[in-house]
Amino acid sequence: MLKFSDRAYYLPSSPIRKLAPYADAAKAAGKHVYHLNIGQPDIPTPPEFFDAFQKADVKVLAYSPSAGTTGLRNEIANYYDRLGYSLDIDQILVTTGASEAISFIVAAICNPGEEIIVPEPFYANYHAFAVASGAEVRTVSSTIENDFALPSIEAFKDQIHSKTRAIMICNPGNPTGVVYPREALQQLVQLAVENDLYLIADEVYREFVYDGAEHHSVLGIPGAESHVIVVDSISKRFSACGARIGCIISRNQQLLDVAMKMAQARLCPPAFGQIGAEAVYQLPQSFYDGIVAEYKARRDLVKAAVSEIDGAFCPEINGAFYAMVKLPVESTEHFCQWLLEEFDFDGATVMMAPGAGFYASRDRGLDEVRIAYVLNQTDLAAAMECLKQGLVAYQNREK
Amino acid sequence: MLKFSDRAYYLPSSPIRKLAPYADAAKAAGKHVYHLNIGQPDIPTPPEFFDAFQKADVKVLAYSPSAGTTGLRNEIANYYDRLGYSLDIDQILVTTGASEAISFIVAAICNPGEEIIVPEPFYANYHAFAVASGAEVRTVSSTIENDFALPSIEAFKDQIHSKTRAIMICNPGNPTGVVYPREALQQLVQLAVENDLYLIADEVYREFVYDGAEHHSVLGIPGAESHVIVVDSISKRFSACGARIGCIISRNQQLLDVAMKMAQARLCPPAFGQIGAEAVYQLPQSFYDGIVAEYKARRDLVKAAVSEIDGAFCPEINGAFYAMVKLPVESTEHFCQWLLEEFDFDGATVMMAPGAGFYASRDRGLDEVRIAYVLNQTDLAAAMECLKQGLVAYQNREK
């Protein structure tokens, strides 16, 4: 019999995409589906992105250097410089999305059976990238009641043992929307240094912070230059998810050398995306201000809508464009599927990502959903009304 | 001390790119470098590729479906249908280049320590993708004197043991230019079936066959539908290496389900490349005829030039756009570096890939180079003259 690897069985299915067949069926049946399940913004990709390719007038869409074009790496360095983080372009390795960046990092640092500590709930694909390298994710719990604040340093310490290789955070958080204060990051850096661990920070939502919250990159915490690895991406920042351009940033040259060997094996990141990315990294602060104001308004809308639903709870959200919301149902997995299969309100329904998929612990997140506020405010309001009406109908159905 | 994974050390450096720093230095010193080291064609990407993106008038460069767009998968199926291979679009998974396709396949079928048998010399990155999953490459030898013909089935049999999971071939061959006859493929298929092995065929150079040689895909050999996995790519076919669009083709649904979990974790292949690829897969046969005629003329030029060099040997080449050439030097690695560092002919030099990097056996290929005939005939002739003059100068230097 033909065999598969062990990882073939352990690889999780995406919680964000697993309900897709039900959404397809709903659409085929004529329903409109509001997609709050996936972090795919509706914000237009800046025209500068597409214009750059016109201007480049490419005749042969050739391989780029494996580490990315010098032009793009320079613009990424300039962008970080404006944020107050000084980087040499050799400290920037362009990847095919943040996904590839995480894959490279895990493969570089973890042998099979070695572990990465991640606060849960966490971006579900971290688990898949760990499994691909045979590594394991060990979690420390954050809770919706506590606004998903970083767990105590003692909780992290309790999980460190001889097989631990790294701590990984997402800041601002997907799926939580949490923004970690500088003091919390300092404690993590200290813990990483004391225990010879890498501190991997996924900072792709860096700009999306609200209510005067300030984002602090781990790049700005002194004393851990070799330990810190940042994962970044243009997908959300510039609404260019399909470009598949991300990067690894580190001051650990040995780590970058290993990642470079992997980068050379896969030849190069997408050429078109790099040309566009080089252009949009030059956009002024006003570009970010406009986008952030829009997301803030959407967040306010989601929070207000949830507050009107009996038994629902939305924690404080200071960043990214997600809300983990507690709903008055036993199983959001069942409810989300039911919304697609059995429900409509004026011919529309809403798709969300069941919360359990973002937890590694079996019994957690069952009554939570992740809502990605990636629709314009009119559609978002309609989607939240759908959710509200759907909950009523679902509860009546249960009686 | 911060640790790295074992694979971080085992990952090979790319033999195709490792001389790059010497090439950069040569250019900085004002030399022109003819690049015969890398399979980056100078053939223009078809204008239809770029026009498609114009017509699509994309506003938000969004994620595509993880398996690729339906439009592209349909056109790939149509392309295979014209070749005489009937495929359902569910048997096609679009990947970020053939590189990702190979990574997914190895990860899906090999546990650490399990093995894939590959005829050597082979495309060096197969080794890197195997190491990334902890798998091992076991080789059977083909030889330049025998025009790199497929080794005997007995030679393959000798390498099969309990940890063997697959046989992998590249047809037409990179770096060899060999095209395997149908009978040889039939024998491999039979061997795979008898031993419960996958047969992975990298067929990205499918169209590039010369002198009336015919390419046979393993998809057309009956009796091994579950065993056969084809790796494909638009990079060479449409001179669109930077697009990073490839695919996995298989009639083994279980394998595709596993690959799909990996595909979902990395979200999607590049969006722009998919739009362009969908257009160029619709090009008529005349497109291929023109390209193939050009490569055939280049192959003739390389063969003729090598035949004029004392002590050099070029085997029969019926496909792809590479020649493994034996040179009258002890170490082509030293010679290739010397060409970049110490030599010029009328201000120009030539860069080639040392042959040893394409062999896993330690003592093989030391006097071979891989020449990629990816330059127009004028430049290619000049590059071959450079090589000829370089050899004379190198031999005089040794006296």
Domain CATH for A114: 3.40.640.10
Out of B213, B246, B280, a domain closes at B280
Q: Do A109 and B43 touch (CB under 8 A)?
A: no
pLDDT at B17 over 90: no
How far is B156 from A122, CA to CA, in rounded Å? 46
Q: How many CB atoms lie within 10 A of CB A56?
A: 14
CA dihedral defined by B364, B369, B374, B379, rounded to 10 degrees? -170
Q: What three-state secondary structure class fits B149? A: coil
Which pLDDT score is estimated for A13? 80
Domain boundary among A280, A315, A343: A280
Q: What pLDDT was estimated at residue B223?
A: 87
B367: in domain: yes
Q: What distance in Å separates the CA atoms of residue A399 and residue A133, rounded to the nearest whole number?
A: 47
Q: Are residues A223 and A101 in the same domain?
A: yes
pLDDT at A188: 97
Q: Give the chain B residue whose CA is nearest to the CA of A18.
A: B264
Residue A45 and residue B58: Cβ atoms within 8 Å? Answer: yes
Q: Domain for residue B1, yes or no?
A: no
| B198, closest residue in chain A (CA to CA) | A2
Residues from chain B contacting residue A261 (CB–CB below 8 Å): 8, 11-14, 128
H-type alpha helices, A177-270:
182-194, 253-265
CATH at B323: 3.90.1150.10
Q: Do A58 and B66 touch (CB under 8 A)?
A: no
Instruction: Say how many domains are in chain B.
Output: 2
Spell out the residues 6+ positions from residue B34 whose beta carbon is closer than 8 angstroms to its own.
B348, B349, B350, B351, B375, B379, B380, B382, B383, B386
- Determine whether the interchain pair B4/A96 forms a contact, defined as Cβ–Cβ distance below 8 Å: no
Q: Clarify whether residues B110 and B235 are in a common domain.
A: yes
Record: contact B109-A11, CB cut-off 8 A: no
- The answer on B385 and B248 residing in a single domain is no
CA distance B250 to chain A (A): 14
The two tokens of residue B262 are 């990996």
Residues B272 and B361 in one domain: no
What is the residue range of A106's domain?
47-280
C-beta atoms of B132 and A44 within 8 A? no
Is A345 found in the same domain as A390? yes
Choosing among B239, B264, B375, which should be mutated to test the A contact, i.e. which has the most A CBs within 10 A? B264
Chain A residues close to B196, C-beta within 8 Å: 1-3
Task: Judge if A188 and A80 occupy the same domain.
Answer: yes
Residue A2 in any domain: the answer is no
**Sheet of strand A246-250, all strands in order from the earlier edge strand to the far edge:** A92-95, A246-250, A228-233, A198-202, A164-170, A115-120, A136-141
Residue A366 lies in a domain: yes
For A50-73, write each residue's pLDDT tens digit.
Answer: 999 989 999 999 999 999 999 999
Question: Are A115 and A247 part of one and the same domain?
Answer: yes
- Residues A386, A298 within the same domain: yes
Do residue A269 and residue B244 have CB atoms under 8 angstroms apart? Answer: yes
CB within 8 Å: A226 and B2: yes
- pLDDT for residue A148: 97
- Rounded Cα distance, B68 and B65, in Å: 5
Residues A317 and A251 in one domain: no
Same domain, A38 and A134: no
Question: What number is the ipTM of this complex?
Answer: 0.96
pLDDT at A399 over 70: no
Section B348-357 average pLDDT? 96
- Please report, to the nearest 10 degrees, the dihedral formed by the alpha carbons of residues A277, A278, A281, A282 taken in order: -140
Q: Å from A251 to nearest chain B CA?
A: 13
Scan for tokens 């359990």, then name that residue.
A356
Q: Mind listing the pLDDT tens digit for each residue in A370-393?
A: 999 999 999 999 999 999 999 999
Contacts of A262 in chain B (CB under 8 A): 11, 128, 132
Residue A4 lies in a domain: no
Q: Which residues pair with residue B372 across a beta bridge?
A: B322
- Angle, helices A20-28 vs A332-341, to 10°: value is 20
Q: Report the candidate in A343, A337, A307 with the shortest Cα–Cα distance to residue A323.
A: A307
Query: End of a domain among B280, B309, B338?
Result: B280
A248 and A321 housed in the same domain: no
- Could you tell me if B233 and B207 are in contact, meaning their C-beta atoms sit under 8 angstroms apart? no
Angle in degrees, 0-180, between the axes of helices A377-398 and A285-307, rounded to the nearest 10:
20
Query: Does residue A330 share a domain with residue A189?
Result: no
Domain membership of residue A268 (yes or no) is yes
Q: Is residue B302 part of a domain?
A: yes
Q: Identify any residues that bridge with A280 across adjacent strands, giving them in sequence order.
A: none
Confidence of residue B398 (pLDDT cuts 50, 70, 90): low
For B47-74, the pLDDT digits (tens) are: 999 999 989 999 999 999 999 999 999 9
Residue among A264, A291, A375 with most chain B CBs within 10 A, to mutate: A264
Q: How many CB atoms lie within 10 A of CB A199?
A: 22
User: With an 8 Å Cβ cutoff, are A244 and B271 in contact?
Assistant: yes
